[in-house]
Amino acid sequence: MTMKLYCFGESGNAYKVALTLGFADVDWEPVHVDFFKGETRGAEFRTLNVMGEVPVLIDGDTVLTQSAVIQDYISSKTGKLGGQSAAERREVLRWMFFDNHKLSGQAGPLRFNMNFLPEDKRNADINGYLSMRLHSALKVLETQLDGRDWLASSDVSIADLACCGYLYYPEAFTFDRAAYPRVDAWLDRIAALPGWKHPYDLMTRAYPPAD
């Protein structure tokens, strides 16, 4: 049965799942969510996900939310993109928590604030704070990639597909690939995998909101 993914192009968290579905050769189709008109915050969407967020994955009777949980589900179901042992699986999970908390958890809001908020609501102090925290996380990523091709195991895993989730977007969020050469090479490595697509080629954009 074809899985359905509630998503929109600008969501790096949805992109992580879309990439994972693609690389795991799963049959799926997108359900476009009109994020910038508030769809995820509405009562109807909240009955699907109390957290009021994409991505949401529907696989038959199974409804899943939180990108990392969905990635883990796809990996478990297909036997692809996970670790090869319990220790490797913990290492994969470790980098996914790091991503959600420290990396995407800063990059996502910062990119939103700098590009999708009305200009009169953008605040330099807040964005400076998020940027400072983002660069702390990018430094950790740069250190971890010293002498390694992939973050958490000997092959590409869902940890890589989580941590890269916001890093291909063209909008400014103080991230300059040239400042992080190992991260830059790792992003090229992921983008060279067969079937890779840019987020805007994989999911329909929702910004600017239609009138």
| Residue 83 in contact with a second copy, rule: CB under 8 A | no
Residue 96 beta carbon to a second copy: minimum distance, rounded to whole angstroms? 8
Span from 25-33, 67-75, 165-173, 185-193 in contact with a second copy (CB under 8 A): 67-75
Spatial separation of the C-alpha atoms in residues 69 and 117, rounded to whole Å:
28
Residue 20 in tokens: 């994972």
Residue 76 beta carbon to a second copy: minimum distance, rounded to whole angstroms? 8
Residue 167 beta carbon to a second copy: minimum distance, rounded to whole angstroms? 17
| Residue 59 in contact with a second copy, rule: CB under 8 A | no
Options 72, 82, 161, 199; binder of a second copy; rule CB under 8 A: 72
Residue 161 beta carbon to a second copy: minimum distance, rounded to whole angstroms? 15
Spatial separation of the C-alpha atoms in residues 133 and 152, rounded to whole Å:
22
- Are 73 and 16 in contact by the 8 Å Cβ rule? The answer is no
| Residue 20 in contact with a second copy, rule: CB under 8 A | no
* Full 3-state SS string of the chain: CCEEEEECCCCHHHHHHHHHHHHCCCCEEEEECCHHHCHHHCHHHHHHCCCCCCCEEEECCEEEECHHHHHHHHHHHHCCCCCCCHHHHHHHHHHHHHHHHHHHHHHHHHHHHHHCCCHHHCCHHHHHHHHHHHHHHHHHHHHHCCCCCCCCCCCCCHHHHHHCCCCCCCCCCCCCHHHCHHHHHHHHHHHCCCCCCCHHHHCCCCCCCCC
Binding mask 118-147 vs a second copy (x if CB under 8 A, - otherwise)?
Answer: -----x-xx--x---x------x--xx---
| Residue 68 in contact with a second copy, rule: CB under 8 A | yes
| Residue 11 in contact with a second copy, rule: CB under 8 A | no
Segment 150 to 189, residues that bind a second copy, using CB under 8 A: none
Segment 93 to 112, residues that bind a second copy, using CB under 8 A: 93-94, 96-98, 100-102, 105, 109
Q: Which residues bind a second copy (CB under 8 A)?
A: 46, 50-52, 62, 64-69, 72-73, 87, 90, 93-94, 96-98, 100-102, 105, 109, 123, 125-126, 129, 133, 140, 143-144
